[in-house]
Structure 1
Amino acid sequence: MLTETEFLVLNAVYLKKMVTAPQIVEMTGAEADDVARCLEDATTRGWVMDMGADGVMVLDDGAAEVLKHYAEAYVEQRKDPAMTAWYHGFEALNTRFIAAVSQWQESEGDPSSERRLLQAAERLAKDIALLMPAIPRYAGYVGRLERSMEKVDLGERDFVCNPTVDSVHNVWFEFHEDILTVLGRKRDTT
């Protein structure tokens, strides 16, 4: 099984698909030297590919290691009815969030759509806090959502859903992928 730091680093690459070391430090709170060491080891093992200035991307063997770690580390969470109930509540919130993002994009940033989107993100941050006793690393998602929302409040509209920054939408999407994998579920693409 991966160490906690190895998992955090490799999982960040898995969730982002392509990411730089500084972004991993920001996402995980891991020390830069530890991130560099983990990435070097993961590259040597053929788990990630170094893409130069663009960062690293996960390879099939790296994704398999991440999924194996999830399967081993979150056995109890997968069996916990409270986690399943929490996820069902999240699905309703996720539907509202997706609708708000779509309205925000279609209206080219309508303030009322933005407000609904941010209200959903605030709610998710509070809901994630309920999971932190079982999954302490989820505190990172709360911090990232809060930072992104603060930037939106300061008028930095890229932090709503720009794919090139740690936007509210990107953090939400990564969290959704993470909780699905914790629970051993597939994303519904219908």
Structure 2
Amino acid sequence: MSTSERAELLILQAVRLTGVADEGAVLDRALLGEHQVREVLEQAAADGLVEQFRLADVGGWVLTESGSVQVARLLSQEVQAADARAVLSAALERFEQINGPFVERVAQWQLQSTLATTTGFGGADDAAVGALLADLTQSGDDLRSALADLVVALPRFGRYPFQFSAALDRARGEGLRWVTGVGLLSCHAVWAEVHQDLLSSLGLARGRTAG
């Protein structure tokens, strides 16, 4: 895979994972320079792979149908070049073993995090907050372990354990939105993107398994 194709893959996959991605969201996920991201997005728009979308105060880049086909092609090419299908499948299997407990844990806090009056951890007592943060720390360790072999084969997956830990650190200081929030790289958002990235890299839809 050429350098330009790798950059295109990182940027198109960033748009795909975000759904509607402004430039900042792409930068956070592709981890490339601002000039390069802007240049690739402009070329992708010219090629009909992405387009601008806006609804009320939400706006950014979205993949077109042609863009979805292109990113699927690039992902397949990447996996084949790295001979990484087996390690991807193993990583997905390990991830799915830790996914259920994480989702259940976060779901217990999501309603509280949407309340307009919520600051910090809302009305939760210190024991409940401490238990949540301890559980999330374990989830972060589990995620790092599940992706360890894959990161060697496909280094772009290395951002996920780092960004999960960064969100957890911010949750300790700033509260629940860094655990359950949307529109930012919260623990929940990073976790969901890992799952989708594993599946799409294997050419699977959500709800399918690598078997």
Q: TM-score, normalised by structure 1?
A: 0.88
Q: Deviations over 1:11-43 (max 9, x none)?
A: 100111111112211222100000000110111
**1:142, distance to aligned residue in structure 2 (A):** 2.2
**1:179, distance to aligned residue in structure 2 (A):** 0.7
CA distance in structure 1 between the aligned counterparts of 2:51 and 2:109, rounded to whole angstroms: 35
Which structure 2 residues correspond to residues 19-168 of structure 1 after superposition, within 5 A? Answer: 19-51=21-53, 54-75=59-80, 76-78=83-85, 80=86, 82-105=87-110, 110-111=128-129, 112-168=131-187
3-state SS of paired residue (1:12) = helix
| Contact in 2 for aligned 1:12/1:27 (Cα 8 Å) | yes
| Contact in 2 for aligned 1:7/1:66 (Cα 8 Å) | yes
Q: Deviations over 1:81-121 (max 9, x none)?
A: x4433322211101111111112235666423453244213
**Cα RMSD (Å):** 2.2
Which range moved further: 89-98 or 153-162? 153-162
**1:185, distance to aligned residue in structure 2 (A):** 2.3
Aligned residues: 187
CA distance in structure 1 between the aligned counterparts of 2:138 and 2:204, rounded to whole angstroms: 26
- Counterpart of 2:30, as a letter, is T
Q: Among the aligned pairs, what percent are the same residue?
A: 25
- Counterpart of 2:74, as a letter, is H
| Contact in 2 for aligned 1:19/1:57 (Cα 8 Å) | yes
- Counterpart of 1:23, as a letter, is A
| Contact in 1 for aligned 2:18/2:25 (Cα 8 Å) | no
Q: TM-score, normalised by structure 2?
A: 0.79
Q: Deviations over 1:55-88 (max 9, x none)?
A: 211111111100111122213222x2x4433322
Which residue of structure 1 lines up, in the alignment, with residue 200 of structure 2? 181
Residue number among 171, 176, 187 corresponding to 2:190 in the alignment? 171
Query: Please, which runs of 5 or more residues in structure 1 have no aligned partner?
Result: none
CA distance in structure 2 between the aligned counterparts of 1:107 and 1:121, rounded to whole angstroms: 22
Residue number among 12, 16, 19 corresponding to 1:17 in the alignment? 19
CA distance in structure 1 between the aligned counterparts of 2:203 and 2:30, rounded to whole angstroms: 22
